[in-house]
Structure 1
Amino acid sequence: MLLLALLGLAVSAPWLSGVVAGHSALSTAATVFSGVFVQALPFLVLGVVVSGLIATFVSAERLASWLPRRPAAAVAVAGIGGAALPGCECGSVPVARRLYGPGRTGAAALTFMLSAPAINPVVLVATAVAFPGNPEMVLARCVASLLTAVAMGMLWLRFGRHEWVTRSLPRTDRTPGGARWTTFSEAARHDFLQAASYLVVGAAAAATLRVVVPAWMFEHLAGNLILAVLTMAVLAVVLALCSEADAFVAASLTMLPLLPRLVFLVVGPAVDVKLAAMQAGMFGRRFAVRFGPATFVVATVIATLVGLAFLGGGR
């Protein structure tokens, strides 16, 4: 079906080009879509290759053995350790479930789940490329995302209940001696198809927003910082973009100040509709209905405060 669709697009390319060129709105939408997708695709490919290598050569048991015994220290190490494990949020949920256990292990696993897709090198480099004139955006995203992950880990230590996790640990069968290439290719293929589909949706959403939403609405949002922050936070939850590509979508919304776009980048990898569904499937509904809303509030507040400190709410 994919090959047939590509063949159909190739055959109809001259006609489609004429249609797009004849309408300024379609031309603008096509330019925004292509720019977002082409810029983000190399980082997406790099991310899924690294995540496939991690799935092949790094075991969850080994990661758990590296945690300090003190709960607060375990949460902090898990938050910082997320920077060393590139991958999108889709991959961090099952890894966190394998790491999860009562007490410090559970809090550290949830901290890792939030930090890994937000502060890893692939995401930060992609953010730097998407915002070439604003290096402070990279630092603000890293700090706000790390603080969000650590804060949620600490909150789980204080208020979390192990009985909220109602789903049992999924069973994983490892082939003795390897089939490592099969493991790598399956993990990379799964992550790429999942992330690329959300990238297409995100690029299409950015193009649609640029064309459909009138300019006066963005001007109104830009003039009302609180409304802009709340709107972008909700938009991050609804769009459910991959963390390796969301920076390019945020960068395309040049009509808004940097602060609301920072909130978009911090909230998205922490909580969205696809993550809520995955968490409900891996941890259980009782966990998802508590952890998701709390993460949304914490991420929005921390991103706003960090944005005011690093960006000043400016463009």
Structure 2
Amino acid sequence: MMEDDPVTVHQAMQDPNSEKWIEAMNEEYKSMQDNKVWELVPLPEGVKPIGCKWIFKTKRDSKGNVERYKARLVAKGYTQKEGIDFKETFSPVSSKDSFRTIMALVAHYDLELHQMDVKTAFLNGNIDETIYMVQPENFVSEEPKNMVCKLTKSIYGLKQASRQWYHKFHQVIISFGFEINVVEDCVYHKFSGSRYIFLVLYVDDILLATNNIDMLHETKRFLSKNFEMKDLGDASFVLGIQIHRDRSQSILGLSQRNYIDKVLKRFGMQDCKAGDTSVAKGDKFSLNQCPKGNLEIQEMQKIPYASAIGSLMYAQVCSVRI
């Protein structure tokens, strides 16, 4: 059984894995310092700094085994004021259709498929606004109490963070000769004679599909030179989707078994029996199927119908066999 992650620093300190969480917090804080994300300054008069909090997450592999403990410092972006702390927030992400299209090309042309992860991606984005943030819990400086963090880089949680990171990545990858796809802002391609490579960006996850191993290594070296990257090698688990390949038969399968197991557990159906079709096409529901009486109504209120349908549709649009 997977235990819940701590939601506060106090809970993390009381957790059986407290040493792991402390180590993760120190690593995140060091990354902030190395990237010069802020500078400590006295809080200007009349200015209210935004808050921040620690988010804790146990990262697991496709089989549910613990890979690492991750702590992330996040700004409380909901306290930002439009026009003062941010202007534009929109940032594109690659669509599931693009992901499946690339997977189809990989299977059909037997391409190399590798994955990279951008460490602390949002810290690479610059900000145009002047933003003050309170010091993070457990890392408050011994300086006077009115000292706050004046942000010099973007940080997770800011409303404009994703947008600023995308602009930074776009500028860098275009400088290396990649071109953006005309219909998908987060898919890039590069051709050199008969050699070609596709790059799919999904926030801080990067997929590389190519017919040339040298081109693959060139791109990896370039990315690692410009960003702090983690090379994950052959792609096998992306965005919670497990990738199965049989290159001898040009077959590529996508599975979300772990995701579906979590959905079933969330809605209390982990012990249900499998069926070919849960609801047949064309079935019609009637008012007779609505809850009757206070007891049935109370029971139905425990089931978030819209959330359940959304969870099922996410699996539906992601997992196909190619």
Bin of the TM-score, shorter chain as denominator length = under 0.3
Q: TM-score normalised to the size of structure 1?
A: 0.25
Q: TM-score normalised to the size of structure 2?
A: 0.25
Q: Which structure features the higher share of helix residues?
A: 1
Q: Which structure is richer in relative contact order (CA contacts within 8 A, separation 6 or more)?
A: 1
